[in-house]
Chains A and B, each alone.
Chain A
Amino acid sequence: MSSTIALEANGLSKSFPGVKALDRVNLRLMSGETHALMGENGAGKSTLIKILTGVHRPDEGALSVAGSIADIHSPAAAMHAGIGVVHQERNVIRGFTVGENIVMSRMPRRGPRVDWPAVRREAKRCLALLDLELDPDTPMARLSSAQTQLVEIARGLYTETSILLLDEPTASISDNEADRLFRVVRRLTEQGTAVLFVSHKLEEVFAHCDTVSVLRDGRSVLESEPLSAHSRDEIVDVMVGRSLAALEVPERAVDRSRPPVLELSDVDTASGHRGVSLELRSGEILGLYGLVGAGRTELARAVLGLDRVTSGSVHVRGARVSIRSVRQALESYRIGYVTENRKEEGVFLAQSVTRNVAITVWSRLERMLGYVSTKSERALVQKYVTELDIRISGQRQLVGQLSGGNQQKVSLAKWLAAKTEILIIDEPTVGIDVRTKRSFYDLIWKLADDGLAILLISSDLAEMITLADRIAVMDRFAITGEVENSHDYDEMSQSIIRLIHGHAAVT
């Protein structure tokens, strides 16, 4: 295959408040190849895609398309340069029909009016590429999530593109549907299209891709190398970064003879869990590992009473409980939850640091007639600001003005102030740079040493292997296995990945 350079990125850098998302990243995409872009969550893949499609502009670095410098300053410019994209997030408009969504980027027109027959024809053509038999007039809202994803892909195929970016297109579709997608991809690459394929699924990558680039913490760690030269383990290693995995782990002793403080036995939930059993002791860090969408956050929600437990039992400190609200979880059972989506669910951006932390302790500070003394509130908050080393100009400062790491500390501080005994921490270090991550790890260890029972949810394998005492692996809303953490990275990553994929192979 004689191929030319379709797209080249040189030294791309991009910073967001508090994080350097990309640091001098290089990428070379050849026409006619399928190029895998890999990396953990937060490694910078999505930022790179967004730069290539004109959503973000790089702080530094240059892009060239087909050998000439390209200024991709907007999504329209990207389209003009022949770059098509299937985004990871659902960018469809639910109120519109399938057809309208597919041709949205360039509505066929006859004079000033939309050419509806052409809309249907074009939409049908794109759907046919994926062997999809969907009426273009179907409202989007009626589709399943897999169908929605497929329409999203069809949309990427609508315009003639010489470069197609696929950002985790197979995350929520079945293997069967994914196969159809790969057939289309093969046809496109045979015609000379360059495809950049972002995925977490190693099998897919090894089965369908020619070249691979890996990002870690915003840096290129593998730059456009032939995939055949690498083993799966090597790819996982460079993705995760052995250096981080090999961090000094403190000596931790967990008293396993103690009865568990939180015990789930054979729990089914309304969100779809089946037969989930877990035991968590005080002073212990239990890791709950799995891919995005495996049902980990949903399990946390069920424990907090936000989703219904339909069968099985939950015991807290030996007593069978039925928790119906976060308040009850907190006040009766001392369970706290540091959420995954910090800005949306974890903190109140437009409120002061004081209120953000004190929110869980007002019930304790409350005196006659609901009176809460501002003085005692501030004193209490100050204690945790100091303890967690939260950098603020004063307690009145709005949390929206703090950096991501400090916001996360605020989100954690409220549960410490509430004196929780069981703490569920969901993806604590997403969007947080390496150094702050390290200080978080120290903090989590310290909390566990102080007797807190911690259920740690993370998609970051290195983080899991560094932090957890035991790791339970979840896939498709079921626990597929549990392993004692030896902190030996090679051994652990092998057995955990086997637990996920072994299960996947069975179903």
Chain B
Amino acid sequence: MTSTLKSGSSAHLQAGALRRFVATPSFFLLVIIFVLVIVLGSIKPAFFNGPFVIAPLLTGISIFTVVGLSQMVVLSIGHMNLAVGPMAAFGAMFMGLSYELWDLPLVLGLALGILAGAAMGALSGWLVARTGVNSFIVTLAMSFALIGLVPTVYSWLSAGSAFTVKPDGLDEIGRSSFSAICVNGACGSNAIPLIVIPALGVMLLIGYLYSHTRLGRELLMTGSNVDAAQLSGIPTGRRIVLVHSLSGALAALAGFLLAASTGSFTPGIGQEFMLQSFVGPILGGTLLAGGYVSVTGTLLGITLTLVIRKGLDLFGVGLETLNVLLGVILLIALSSDQIRLFFGRRRTRRPAQVDRTSPPPGPKLAQPSVPEEISA
């Protein structure tokens, strides 16, 4: 930083940015994913099969990145949302209802469902801000309530506990690839599903929010120290409600994407979301205690777990073994902090006199530095 200020040369600036990137979890994840893909691909060339392996993998990454971001936004203020899955189910339920019972077009149903998710999030946020009860407890309660409510509504209103009416365009979003898009006879790849588009859109939006806007900065400051944020003029109560709504909205969107890829709206949507929602952001360097997020890291964290899953799947490893392995890999990946710290230390040596109470609490006791920019 000092060097960039003094010299001002762009080469210097890029070198600084590169070194900062190397010190982030994202870089580490990128290396692991790259090595893993090479190894998997060379042992099992089938791993590179476009329509049957890569396309479903990308679909999963797209959906779960949105799930991860839904958790990441609440983590940014040091809260959590244990109801990510049930909120997705709740939102998806409204979408299913809109299409099956009210014959609404795709966009309207989607908007309604996202609003429903956001409303549930707003309710959690309001309860947290109003009562001061920990978000863990509030969203846990919310989760129970929704897990009970959603299947009940399905059993009343749907035949066979699922809404199966598909509005125009649903299959295109959820089950088509770029091969369906042809310009002058040249069609896109069948390895890349169209569902990556909404996921990328969300990533760009959230990335922009945290790296370039006032609101994103205020959320991070709230996460760092809520008392200081309030005394600096940030309306922390409103920020809490807002961020929980955003989480609910993103959860509902993830629910929609999952329903679009499977073809029906069921009460089971979101059952696998909760653990994944934490794994992605945390692997990617987002602090549980708040104050630092990484959108790229979330994408890469999700990608890593899904690549491992897909790879082991190809080797015929059973689901149980797979989960055990995922747990082990998660532990290893999280301790990789020490390795990153080694790289980070060359740049910002933490002075020995730093107050022991000062670094952010949470699993990452040794965050080497907090990069200013968060690239989407």
Q: Is residue A17 contacting chain B, with contact meaning CB distance below 8 A? A: yes
Q: Is residue B31 contacting chain A, with contact meaning CB distance below 8 A? A: no
Interfacial residues of chain B within 332-376, with CB under 8 A of chain A in the complex? 348, 350-351, 353-355, 357-360, 367, 369-373
- Which of chain B's residues has its CB closest to A373's CB? B212
Interfacial residues of chain B within 271-299, with CB under 8 A of chain A in the complex? 291-292
Residue from A329, A330, A394, A403 whose CB has the most chain B CB atoms within 10 Å: A394
Q: Is residue B215 contacting chain A, with contact meaning CB distance below 8 A? A: yes
On chain A, the residues within 8 Å of B357 by CB distance are 343
User: Which of A17, A359, A403, A414 makes the CB contact (< 8 A) with B217?
Assistant: A359
Interfacial residues of chain B within 201-257, with CB under 8 A of chain A in the complex? 209, 212-218, 220-221, 224-225, 227-235
A401, B1: Cβ atoms closer than 8 Å:
no
- How big is the B interface, by class? 35 or more
A398, B369: Cβ atoms closer than 8 Å:
yes
How far, in angstroms, from A294 to B369 measured CA to CA in the complex?
A: 41
B212, A371: Cβ atoms closer than 8 Å:
yes
On chain A, the residues within 8 Å of B225 by CB distance are 344-345, 347-350
B227, A345: Cβ atoms closer than 8 Å:
yes
How far, in angstroms, from A331 to B214 measured CA to CA in the complex?
A: 15
How far, in angstroms, from A400 to B358 measured CA to CA in the complex?
A: 6
Q: Is residue B133 contacting chain A, with contact meaning CB distance below 8 A? A: no
B234, A401: Cβ atoms closer than 8 Å:
no
B370, A374: Cβ atoms closer than 8 Å:
no
Rounded to whole Å, the gap between the CB of A326 and the closest CB of chain B is 5
B1, A351: Cβ atoms closer than 8 Å:
no
B372, A354: Cβ atoms closer than 8 Å:
yes
A345, B372: Cβ atoms closer than 8 Å:
no
A343, B372: Cβ atoms closer than 8 Å:
no
Q: Is residue B5 contacting chain A, with contact meaning CB distance below 8 A? A: yes
Q: How many residues of A contact B (CB 8 A)?
A: 47
Rounded to whole Å, the gap between the CB of B120 and the closest CB of chain A is 25
Rounded to whole Å, the gap between the CB of B225 and the closest CB of chain A is 5
Q: Is residue A493 contacting chain B, with contact meaning CB distance below 8 A? A: no
User: Which of A349, A360, A371, A400 makes the CB contact (< 8 A) with B213?
Assistant: A371
User: Which of A325, A339, A351 makes the CB contact (< 8 A) with B221?
Assistant: A351
- Which of chain A's residues has its CB closest to B290's CB? A350
How far, in angstroms, from A325 to B239 measured CA to CA in the complex?
A: 14
On chain B, the residues within 8 Å of A252 by CB distance are none
A398, B370: Cβ atoms closer than 8 Å:
yes
Q: Is residue B2 contacting chain A, with contact meaning CB distance below 8 A? A: yes
B233, A348: Cβ atoms closer than 8 Å:
no
On chain B, the residues within 8 Å of A397 by CB distance are 1, 348
A351, B224: Cβ atoms closer than 8 Å:
yes
A326, B228: Cβ atoms closer than 8 Å:
no
B291, A326: Cβ atoms closer than 8 Å:
no
Q: Is residue A395 contacting chain B, with contact meaning CB distance below 8 A? A: yes
Proximity string of chain A (366-396) to chain B, C-beta cutoff 8 Å, 1 when within and 0 when not? 1001111010000000000000000001111
A330, B233: Cβ atoms closer than 8 Å:
yes
User: Which of B214, B351, B369, B372 makes the CB contact (< 8 A) with A366?
Assistant: B214
How far, in angstroms, from A244 to B203 measured CA to CA in the complex?
A: 58
A326, B2: Cβ atoms closer than 8 Å:
no
Residue from A343, A347, A351, A366 whose CB has the most chain B CB atoms within 10 Å: A351
B228, A348: Cβ atoms closer than 8 Å:
yes
A-B contact count (CB 8 A): 126
Q: Is residue A158 contacting chain B, with contact meaning CB distance below 8 A? A: no
B354, A362: Cβ atoms closer than 8 Å:
no
A351, B351: Cβ atoms closer than 8 Å:
no
B291, A359: Cβ atoms closer than 8 Å:
no
How far, in angstroms, from A397 to B227 measured CA to CA in the complex?
A: 21
On chain A, the residues within 8 Å of B373 by CB distance are 374
B291, A348: Cβ atoms closer than 8 Å:
yes
Proximity string of chain B (1-14) to chain A, C-beta cutoff 8 Å, 1 when within and 0 when not? 11001000000000
How far, in angstroms, from A346 to B231 measured CA to CA in the complex?
A: 8
Rounded to whole Å, the gap between the CB of A260 and the closest CB of chain B is 23
Q: Is residue A197 contacting chain B, with contact meaning CB distance below 8 A? A: no
Q: Is residue A355 contacting chain B, with contact meaning CB distance below 8 A? A: yes
User: Which of B2, B215, B216, B231 makes the CB contact (< 8 A) with A345?
Assistant: B231
User: Which of B217, B227, B231 makes the CB contact (< 8 A) with A355?
Assistant: B217
Interface of B is mostly: loop
A362, B228: Cβ atoms closer than 8 Å:
no
- Which of chain A's residues has its CB closest to B1's CB? A394
Q: Is residue A327 contacting chain B, with contact meaning CB distance below 8 A? A: yes
User: Which of B215, B348, B350, B358 makes the CB contact (< 8 A) with A343?
Assistant: B358
On chain A, the residues within 8 Å of B369 by CB distance are 396, 398
User: Which of A337, A350, A369, A401 makes the CB contact (< 8 A) with B231?
Assistant: A337
A17, B214: Cβ atoms closer than 8 Å:
no
- Which of chain A's residues has its CB closest to B291's CB? A350
Interfacial residues of chain B within 68-91, with CB under 8 A of chain A in the complex? none
Q: Given A355-B221, A362-B214, A398-B369, A343–B231 Cβ distance below 8 Å?
A: no
A362, B218: Cβ atoms closer than 8 Å:
yes
Rounded to whole Å, the gap between the CB of A410 and the closest CB of chain B is 11
How far, in angstroms, from A397 to B370 measured CA to CA in the complex?
A: 9
On chain A, the residues within 8 Å of B212 by CB distance are 370-372, 374
On chain B, the residues within 8 Å of A393 by CB distance are 1-2
Residue from B225, B348, B350, B373 whose CB has the most chain A CB atoms within 10 Å: B225
Q: Is residue A311 contacting chain B, with contact meaning CB distance below 8 A? A: no
Rounded to whole Å, the gap between the CB of A341 and the closest CB of chain B is 8
Proximity string of chain A (350-366) to chain B, C-beta cutoff 8 Å, 1 when within and 0 when not? 11101100111011011
How far, in angstroms, from A320 to B82 measured CA to CA in the complex?
A: 46
B233, A396: Cβ atoms closer than 8 Å:
no
Rounded to whole Å, the gap between the CB of B177 and the closest CB of chain A is 32
On chain A, the residues within 8 Å of B216 by CB distance are 370
User: Which of B218, B230, B359, B371 makes the CB contact (< 8 A) with A326?
Assistant: B230
B233, A350: Cβ atoms closer than 8 Å:
no
A343, B217: Cβ atoms closer than 8 Å:
no
B228, A372: Cβ atoms closer than 8 Å:
no
On chain A, the residues within 8 Å of B350 by CB distance are 401
B233, A347: Cβ atoms closer than 8 Å:
no
Interfacial residues of chain B within 113-172, with CB under 8 A of chain A in the complex? none
On chain B, the residues within 8 Å of A395 by CB distance are 1
Rounded to whole Å, the gap between the CB of B243 and the closest CB of chain A is 14
How far, in angstroms, from A340 to B355 measured CA to CA in the complex?
A: 18
A401, B354: Cβ atoms closer than 8 Å:
yes
How far, in angstroms, from A403 to B351 measured CA to CA in the complex?
A: 11
A349, B227: Cβ atoms closer than 8 Å:
no
B232, A349: Cβ atoms closer than 8 Å:
no
B232, A360: Cβ atoms closer than 8 Å:
yes
User: Which of A329, A345, A350 makes the CB contact (< 8 A) with B358?
Assistant: A350
Q: Given A17-B354, A17-B355, A354-B372, A348–B221 Cβ distance below 8 Å?
A: yes
- 9 shortest A-B CB distances, which residue pairs? A394-B1, A400-B358, A370-B213, A17-B353, A362-B214, A327-B233, A349-B358, A350-B360, A348-B224
A327-B233, A346-B231, A349-B224 given. 15 additional CB < 8 A pairs? A18-B353, A330-B233, A331-B233, A345-B227, A350-B360, A352-B370, A355-B220, A359-B217, A359-B218, A365-B214, A369-B213, A370-B209, A372-B214, A396-B1, A398-B369
B: residues with CB less than 8 A from A are: 1-2, 5, 209, 212-218, 220-221, 224-225, 227-235, 291-292, 348, 350-351, 353-355, 357-360, 367, 369-373
A-B residue pairs in contact (CB < 8 Å), sample of 28 = A325-B233, A326-B231, A327-B235, A331-B233, A343-B355, A344-B228, A348-B225, A349-B225, A349-B358, A350-B292, A350-B360, A351-B221, A355-B217, A355-B220, A359-B234, A362-B218, A369-B213, A370-B213, A371-B212, A372-B213, A372-B214, A372-B217, A393-B2, A396-B1, A396-B369, A396-B370, A396-B371, A418-B233
